Amino acid sequence: VDRLKTQIGERNNRLLEIEKEIANYQNELKKVGSEKKTLQSAIGQLELERKKISADLSYTENKIGFTDLEISKINLEIESTEQDINQNKNAIGEIIDRLAENDRETLLEVMLRHQNLSEFWGAISTLENLRGAMGNEVKKLASLKLLLEEKRDEQRGKRDKLLDLKDEYSGQKEVLENNKSEKDRLLKQTKNKESNYQTILAAKQKARAEI
């Protein structure tokens, strides 16, 4: 009887030890479970932020492409305006040459070439009016060119800002991806720890049942 009492006491003591170990592992499992939930939540949040940054980055890249097209369009308009200016200048030069040539003609030459002087002076007046009109057109085109160049510079400024914003978004995306990778690694470790605790806990519960 005494020997049995001793054995029973020893088993009770071992049971108490195992119960204590089981309680400790259960507490650890709760902590690990809480850590796992926290990490999963953090990973979910990081993934949402990464998707938002990716969308912002895509939008910014599209804006840059749109701005490039705007700049190309303005450059073509500037080239077209320059061509119009040159054409008008050339036409004005021809008119000036015609007027200079008329100025060099003597009255006799004028009378021989034209049936009457009114026709001659009418032609001169037409050339003068045309030169004035074309001069005004050149001024308008020059003003238009200046406006287009200002608009182009403005678009280039926008493009530079968009490029800076793109770099900023790219940096943020890289940081988020690195953070997510780190959290994924920690989550994997936590899951392994949880699995190990569950295995040990099952073994302790089996030992308690055997005792």
Of 35-44, 78-87, 94-103, 155-164, which gets the smallest average pLDDT? Answer: 94-103
Query: What distance in Å separates the CA atoms of residue 183 and residue 198, rounded to the nearest whole number?
Result: 22
Nearest to 107 by CA among 120, 94, 95: 120
The residue with tokens 């020893």 is 10
Query: What distance in Å separates the CA atoms of residue 178 and residue 190, rounded to the nearest whole number?
Result: 18
SS3 percent helix, strand, coil of the chain, rounded to 5, is 95, 0, 5
Q: Convert the pLDDT of each residue in 98-109 to its tens digit.
A: 666 655 555 445
Of 106-115, 136-145, 153-162, 180-189, which gets the smallest average pLDDT? Answer: 106-115
Give the burial string for 77-88 (b: 16+ CB within 10 Å, else e).
Answer: bbeebeebbeeb
Task: Using CB atoms within 10 Å of the CB of residue 27, give its burial: 0 to 12 exposed, 13 to 18 middle, 19+ buried.
Answer: exposed
Three-class secondary structure of residue 204 per DSSP:
helix
Contact between 74 and 146 under an 8 Å Cβ cutoff? The reply is no
Tokens of 184: 């994924």
Three-class secondary structure of residue 6 per DSSP:
helix
In this prediction, residue 104 carries a pLDDT of: 55
Q: What percent of the chain has pLDDT over 70?
A: 83
Q: What percent of the chain has pLDDT over 90?
A: 0
In this prediction, residue 200 carries a pLDDT of: 86
In this prediction, residue 108 carries a pLDDT of: 46
> Is residue 112 predicted with pLDDT exceeding 60?
no
Of 122-136, 154-168, 187-201, which gets the smallest average pLDDT? Answer: 122-136
